[in-house]
């Protein structure tokens, strides 16, 4: 590829552009910085697929990138021969702008390559797409979604036959194919209506919903928990304008919840997300309408799911206010509840196992150890957890009962291989109902866990670095942290560093001493003399470096002071470029 200006000229001169696309590119003719941001490099196809802002350009999400990526994906599927093409692909999308257009374009490219397509009739939760891949035994899956990113984004999330996101090997093959295929004329396509009429594209919908819901409801542990408190237990729910609007309320009603109050303003399907700056349940400010409603109706709990309904956020009542439960705290609560409830119900399998990510709370290990449950960690991303779970199953060692990561993602059951806010909403409601019967909120339950297992606290800092300069800065920061790792952080000695890129473990004063169990991810893991963990990694889906701080102390005051100190230090990471 030539310079970014060469690529810009190639695009603006291409007859493949519509008049509106040409005008958009012509409008930035005198803005070299914007041209560079759009054309300095292709969007990188990784194990999370593609994600970017919706603009005309090589480094953005648009119809040309969709066709290009889909042809590459189709080539990789076709390597499996006629059997793989017959097994085909399931395609879904969420509420985002261009979601349906991109999904239909991808379906047409797949069908033109002789691959059988099952296309959902409208927006669907990400976990249902994972379920459909497994249920229909397809070769692959595709979801057009940018999860919880701002409205300007869309994405291309790819799945393999195991229902999990694409393994690194296949992702690398697609990336290689994209380098070899011409973006404007290297793809095949067909007419959507004709492909539907002749059966190359099959539209699926409610029948798949029912099959999915049956599996979701099958993950109930305490059958009577919600019905037992149904007369005085209230929940407010918001889907943040997205995919949870239908199946989350339906699941909770079928479990016996009488008083469910949807946040009507946010039940409106809209990829512009008109009521929130960011449709992310990790951000409490997005719940302001739900909080107003919860106060009005006397709700005990607020549940929110992100636009593609794979993440879940929860706020619990504390007096007249509603307090967010962090992703780590919800993971701790669910681990303890699932273990306890399964033991009481007699449904705990032999050799149970739980999986979490290396950036999630170490309290998970403490709870599992105290309860005789095997615990392991993987890299961030449920595809890695799925790999570990599949390895347990193939070896006949452990039976997984729960998987989670701190970024508000939770997975149970063998019918999905990705985070699942629909099933999580049901289990959170069941758990909250059990505590409600005891006169406890989920906040009370968190405090009870701390009293039992020790006080832990965590904080994630996002260092946002947009554009081409941001990408360079992120690379520079990680390189500098590797070549000259700090000997201390906030005045506390660094005693050990794990570099998960090559698996090296360094001990201060001794040098390299061992290897980590897993490697191959751009993560630096610093262990400090006071027991604090300080982790730095670039986000795989957004232009930012994420810093994870995990502390352990005698009480809340100690933990709060530690967090405050290390949060201040985290801000200095940006200066290490």
Split at pLDDT 50, 70, 90, the class of 510 is confident
Interhelix angle 327-345/442-453, rounded to 10 degrees, is 80
Pair 87, 190 in one domain: yes
pLDDT the model gives residue 542: 76
Q: Per DSSP, what are the bridge partners of residue 527? A: 496, 533
Q: In this structure, are 107 and 146 located in the same domain? A: yes
Q: What is the mean pLDDT of residues 336-353?
A: 98
Q: Are 143 and 94 in contact (CB under 8 A)?
A: yes
Out of 399, 419, 453, a domain closes at: 453
Active site residue 147: yes
Lowest mean per-residue pLDDT among 156-165, 179-188, 307-316, 471-480: 471-480
pLDDT at position 37:
94
Domain boundary among 437, 453, 469: 453
In a domain, 137, yes or no: yes
User: Does residue 12 sit within a domain?
Assistant: no
Q: DSSP string of 115-161?
A: --EEEESS---HHHHHHHHHHTT-SEEEEE--TTS-TTEEEEEEEET
Q: Is pLDDT of 236 > 90?
A: yes
Residue 574's pLDDT is what? 87
The pLDDT of residue 46: 79
- State pLDDT tens for residues 429-466: 999 999 999 999 999 999 999 999 999 999 999 999 98
CA nearest to 337, candidates 233, 225, 454, 252: 225
How many separate domains does the chain show? 4
In a domain, 563, yes or no: yes
Residue that terminates a domain, selected from 310, 325, 340: 325
- Whether 497 is in a domain gets the answer yes
Does residue 449 sit in the same domain as residue 490?
Answer: no
- What backbone torsions phi and psi does residue 142 show, to the nearest 5 degrees? -145, 130
Contact present, 410 and 312 (Cβ < 8 Å): yes
Judged against a pLDDT cut of 60, whether residue 198 lies above it is answered with yes
Residue 513 belongs to a domain: yes
Read off the pLDDT of each residue in 293-315 and give the average, rounded to a whole number. Answer: 98
pLDDT at residue 220, as a whole number: 98
pLDDT at position 88 is 98
Shared domain for 441 and 462, answered yes or no, is: no
Closest CA to 564 of 489, 459, 462: 459
Statement to judge: residues 102 and 199 lie in one domain: yes
Q: Are residues 382 and 471 in the same domain?
A: no
What gap in Å lies between CA 408 and CA 328, rounded to an integer? Answer: 8
- Confirm whether 522 is domain-assigned: yes
Residues 101 and 193 placed together within one structural domain of the fold: yes
- The CATH number of the domain where 270 resides is what? 3.40.120.10
- The answer to whether the CB of 224 falls within 8 A of the CB of 433 is no
Is residue 390 domain-resident?
Answer: yes
pLDDT of residue 1: 56
| Amino acid 467: pLDDT | 81
pLDDT of residue 367: 98
33-84 pLDDT tens trace? 999 999 999 998 877 899 999 999 999 999 999 999 999 999 999 999 999 9
What is the rounded distance in angstroms from the CA atom of residue 396 to the CA atom of residue 464?
Answer: 43
Is 45 found in the same domain as 187?
yes
Q: Is 422 a domain residue?
A: yes
The two structure tokens encoding residue 85: 């093409």
| pLDDT for position 469 | 86
Predicted TM-score (pTM) of the model is 0.95
In this structure, are residues 412 and 402 in contact, taking their beta carbons and an 8 Å threshold?
yes
Q: Which domain holds residue 501?
A: 457-576
Verify that 531 and 557 share a domain, yes or no: yes
Out of 173-177, 386-390, 406-410, 462-466, pick the least confident. Answer: 462-466
Q: What is the mean pLDDT of residues 227-248?
A: 98
Per-residue pLDDT, averaged over 108-114, amounts to 98
**In whole angstroms, what is the distance from residue 100 CA to residue 121 CA?**
9
Selecting among 147, 309, 360, 521, the annotated active-site residue is 147
CATH of the domain at 468: 3.30.310.50
């Amino acid at each position: 590829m030539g310079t970014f200006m060469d690529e810009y000229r190639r695009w603006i001169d291409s007859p493949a552009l519509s008049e509106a696309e040409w005008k958009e590119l012509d409008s930035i003719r005198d803005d070299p910085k914007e041209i560079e941001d759009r054309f300095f490099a292709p969007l990188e196809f990784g194990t999370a697929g593609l994600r970017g802002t919706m603009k005309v350009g090589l480094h953005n999400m648009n119809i040309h990138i969709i066709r290009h990526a889909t042809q590459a994906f189709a080539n990789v599927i076709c390597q499996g021969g006629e059997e793989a093409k017959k097994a085909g692909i399931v395609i879904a999308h969420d509420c985002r702008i261009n979601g349906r257009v991109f999904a239909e374009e991808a379906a047409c490219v797949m069908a033109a390559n002789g691959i059988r397509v099952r296309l959902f009739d409208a927006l669907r939760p990400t976990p249902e797409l994972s379920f459909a891949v497994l249920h229909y035994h397809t070769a692959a899956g595709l979801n057009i979604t940018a999860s919880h990113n701002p409205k300007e984004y869309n994405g291309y999330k790819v799945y393999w036959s195991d229902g999990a996101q694409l393994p690194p090997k296949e992702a690398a093959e697609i990336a290689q194919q994209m380098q070899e295929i011409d973006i404007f004329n290297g793809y095949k396509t067909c007419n959507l209506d004709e492909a539907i009429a002749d059966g190359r594209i099959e539209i699926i919908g409610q029948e798949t919903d029912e099959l999915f819901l049956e599996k979701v409801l099958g993950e109930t542990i305490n059958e009577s928990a919600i019905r037992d408190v149904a007369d005085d237990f209230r929940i407010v729910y918001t889907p943040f304008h997205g995919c949870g609007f239908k199946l989350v309320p339906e699941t909770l009603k079928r479990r016996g919840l009488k008083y469910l109050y949807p946040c009507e303003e946010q039940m409106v399907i809209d990829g512009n997300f008109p009521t929130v700056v960011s449709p992310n349940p990790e951000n409490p400010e997005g719940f302001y309408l739900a909080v107003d409603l919860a106060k009005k109706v006397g709700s005990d709990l607020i549940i929110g799911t992100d636009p593609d309904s794979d993440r879940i956020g929860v706020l619990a009542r504390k007096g007249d206010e509603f307090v967010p439960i962090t992703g780590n705290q919800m993971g701790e609560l669910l681990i303890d509840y699932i273990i306890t409830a399964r033991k009481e119900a007699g449904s705990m399998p032999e050799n149970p196992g739980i999986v979490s990510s290396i950036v999630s709370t170490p309290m998970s290990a403490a709870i599992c150890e105290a309860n005789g449950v095997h615990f392991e960690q993987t890299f961030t991303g449920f595809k890695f957890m799925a790999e570990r779970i599949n390895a347990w199953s193939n070896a006949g060692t452990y039976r997984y009962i729960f998987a989670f990561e701190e970024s508000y993602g939770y997975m149970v059951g063998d019918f999905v291989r990705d985070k699942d806010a629909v099933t999580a909403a049901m289990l959170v409601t069941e758990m909250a109902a059990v505590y409600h019967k005891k006169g406890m909120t989920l906040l009370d339950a968190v405090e009870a866990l701390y009293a039992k297992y020790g006080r832990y606290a965590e904080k994630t800092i996002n260092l946002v670095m947009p554009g081409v300069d941001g990408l360079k800065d992120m690379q520079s920061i990680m390189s500098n942290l590797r070549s000259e790792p700090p000997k201390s952080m906030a005045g506390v000695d660094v005693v050990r560093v794990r570099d998960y890129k090559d698996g090296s473990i360094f001990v201060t004063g001794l040098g390299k001493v061992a290897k980590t169990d897993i490697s191959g991810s751009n993560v630096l893991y610093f262990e400090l003399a006071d027991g604090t963990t300080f982790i730095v990694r670039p986000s795989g889906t957004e232009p930012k470096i994420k810093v994870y701080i995990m502390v352990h102390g005698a009480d809340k005051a100690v933990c709060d002071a530690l967090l405050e100190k290390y949060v201040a230090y985290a801000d200095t990471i940006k200066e290490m470029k």
